[in-house]
Amino acid sequence: MSEILSEISTTVIRGNLDEIEDLTEDALGGGLDAQQILNEGLMPGMDHVGVEFRAGRMFVPEVLRSARTMQRSMDILKPLLAEEGVAMVGKVMLGTVEGDLHDIGKNLVGMMCEGAGFEVQDLGKNISPEGFVVAVKEFNPDVVGMSALLTTTMRSMEHTIDALQEAGVRDQFKVMVGGAPVTKDFADQIGADGYASNAAAAVDLAKQFVGAA
């Protein structure tokens, strides 16, 4: 790995928001292409963050800062990646289910999925089952992620999966669910394809679903 790519990885890990844009521009100016910067700089940094988060050595505020650092670099790289015709590893669509206004966990999943090379469509929070159905038809994702942070809104996940089934689109993608009150048993009961206990686990699951793990 070149010195500047190593520096980009370290900057992501440390969450140095003020340095990442200049480093990204320097890497591009030095002849590296956007895909190299993503694959050999940003993604190794976020992979390390995921490992540390799972091990309990990094915490949500630090992970969010790292993800935002990566996001600033991605804002520069995205148009260039599109020009280069770089294929992302897959499409992930995320939303907090109807009745629930919590989105920190979902936002973290989205940023970490982008760091892992996914194209991400974030629907936001308080999304109705019908809203998921409409978005799925428009976006055609490989993975649909639903989050709920309240026991009272967990059932909205089941209603959403039922709505996707009734619309005839359920078999076109994998569904993963998560959030503080959600369990693997609950995920199995409502017909989800997988459960993730935290953002790093959600990224790993999404990778498995598209064969990129």
Residues 101 and 79 in one domain: no
Does 110 score more than 70 pLDDT? yes
Residues 80 and 96 in one domain: no
Q: Which pLDDT belongs to residue 213?
A: 62
The backbone torsions φ and ψ at residue 135, rounded to the nearest 5 degrees and listed phi first, read: -65, -40
Residues 99 and 152 in one domain: yes
Residues 101 and 122 in one domain: yes
User: Which helix (H) or strand (E) segment is 33 a member of?
Assistant: none
Q: Which DSSP string corresponds to 110-151? A: HHHHHHTTEEEEE--SSB-HHHHHHHHHHH--SEEEEE--ST
Residues 45 and 122 in one domain: no
What is the CATH classification number for the domain harbouring 168?
Answer: 3.40.50.280
Residue at a domain's end among 33, 57, 84: 84
For the chain, how many structural domains are there in total? 2
Distance (Å) of CA 24 to CA 69, 72, 74, 77, 120: 11, 9, 9, 8, 21
What is the CATH classification number for the domain harbouring 70?
Answer: 1.10.1240.10
Does 87 score more than 80 pLDDT? no
Domain hosting residue 10, numbered range: 3-84
Does 37 score more than 80 pLDDT? yes
Alpha carbons 103 and 111: distance in angstroms, whole number: 12
pLDDT digits (tens, 9 = 90+) for 120-169: 999 999 999 999 999 999 999 999 999 999 999 999 999 999 999 999 99
